[in-house]
Chains A and B, each alone.
Chain A
Amino acid sequence: MKIECNDCGADINLPEDAIVGEIVTCPDCGGDFEIVSKSGDKVELKPAETVGEDWGQ
């Protein structure tokens, strides 16, 4: 499944089993996006949170 990048308009490839909350990266501009909703072939993205200093395991 393909979806348009919110920033640069390039095509982002979305795996079929992608779920809400996953992060996808635009191959052209490198922007990270979080999948906000997904129903059928309608997918909504928002810019992902940047990695904070307190992130990790």
Chain B
Amino acid sequence: MDEISILYDKIRYEEKSLHEKAIKRGLKVSLLDAKNISLNTSSKHSDFNQSRVFLQRCLSHYRSLYLTTCLEFLGLNVINSSSIIDTCGNKLKTSLKLAQNNIPTPKTHFAFSVEGFKELLTEIGYPKVLKPIVGSWGRGVFPLRNQELANMILEIREEDTNPLSRIYYVQEMIKRPPRDIRCIVIGNKLITSVYRYSADDEWRTNVARGGRTEIAPITKELEDIVIKTSEAIGGGILGVDLMEDLDNGLVVHEVNNNVEFRGASLVSHVDIADAILDYLETFLKR
């Protein structure tokens, strides 16, 4: 019987190093390809891989969410839980959760048709940041600097047949240095924090967009806001992304449920894969 199963749809640096490190620790660990799993309404816990804990590492948000929901139906313990994945994988739900818990976050507006959105824009003005509700690596995140640009981007977006593209999510543009702070939080403990700088020709700071990573000091303010965020989301293994608003201090703009840590690993003094395994091992002892 395995102790830990790592669910994946594509193996990257992160999954590989978690797997290797788990073996070195003498843990019984397996990599499970989520693309090959099927189950049904009569499935039982005992029909399935008997791991004590499942680490959900699928890159596809919907695959991750629905597979986790099914595994939880079997009574299996999946980290992160489906409710965490549901909130973090959806920017609208994340923003509402943060606001509900009084966590500083950029002011965000929602509209539910393109006409409604255009009207909203004339009311709130520019610049603003338009984001897709589901999606990552900065894809589809656009600064709306004036009406002309906004109309162009909206025209392109209307061609998109994804029903989620009819839901509009637009945020105040934060005045910030050309970097974000990204924190890795495990079991409500802040493990490490790094700055992500944007590439020279890029406004977004995502590492996937060529951004550079540097270690960031952990201040009391940072720790407080990050722990509060983690508690609001429901714990687990999280990436909390913040911006340094020059007017209002730290604001949380996003929480990731499937943390990428390759960039942070290169600069951090803490071994992030080890920290994740330490956390998973606490579930083996229960």
A39 within 8 Å of B (CB atoms): no
Give A36's nearest chain B residue, CB to CB: B33
Q: Are A21 and B15 in contact (CB under 8 A)?
A: yes
Q: Are A19 and B11 in contact (CB under 8 A)?
A: yes
Partner pick for B136 among A34, A48, A57, CB 8 A cutoff? A57
Stretch at the interface among B106-114, B116-124, B252-260: B252-260
Q: Are B60 and A57 in contact (CB under 8 A)?
A: no
Q: Are A57 and B9 in contact (CB under 8 A)?
A: no
**Given A56-B59, A57-B239, CB of A49 within 8 Å of CB of B139:** no
Q: Are B258 and A54 in contact (CB under 8 A)?
A: no
Interface residues on A, range: 10 to 19
Chain A residues 21-35 with CB under 8 Å of chain B are 21-23, 34
Q: Are B11 and A21 in contact (CB under 8 A)?
A: yes
What's the minimum C-beta distance from B99 to chain A, rounded to whole angstroms?
A: 22
Contacts of A52 in B (CB 8 A): 60
Contacts of B9 in A (CB 8 A): 49
Contacts of B19 in A (CB 8 A): 19
A48 to B33 Cα, complex, angstroms: 13
B40 within 8 Å of A (CB atoms): no
Interface residues on B, range: 20 to 34
Q: Are A34 and B10 in contact (CB under 8 A)?
A: yes
Contact mask for chain B residues 170-210; partner A; CB cutoff 8 A; 1 contact, 0 none = 00000000000000000000000000000000000000100
Give B160's nearest chain A residue, CB to CB: A53
A20 within 8 Å of B (CB atoms): yes
Partner pick for B60 among A19, A23, A55, CB 8 A cutoff? A55
A55 to B137 Cα, complex, angstroms: 8
Q: Are B11 and A53 in contact (CB under 8 A)?
A: no
What's the minimum C-beta distance from A47 to chain B, rounded to whole angstroms?
A: 12
Q: Are B162 and A48 in contact (CB under 8 A)?
A: no
What's the minimum C-beta distance from B80 to chain A, rounded to whole angstroms?
A: 12
Q: Are A55 and B11 in contact (CB under 8 A)?
A: no
B interface residue numbers (CB < 8 A to A): 8-11, 15-16, 19, 31, 33, 35, 59-62, 89, 132, 134-137, 139, 162, 208, 239, 256-260
Q: A23-B10, A56-B208, A57-B258 are in contact. List 8 more A-B contacts (CB 8 A).
A: A22-B16, A23-B11, A53-B134, A53-B139, A54-B60, A56-B136, A57-B136, A57-B239
User: What are the 6 A-B residue pairs with the smallest beta carbon separation, nearest first?
Assistant: A56-B136, A21-B11, A54-B61, A57-B256, A22-B11, A56-B137
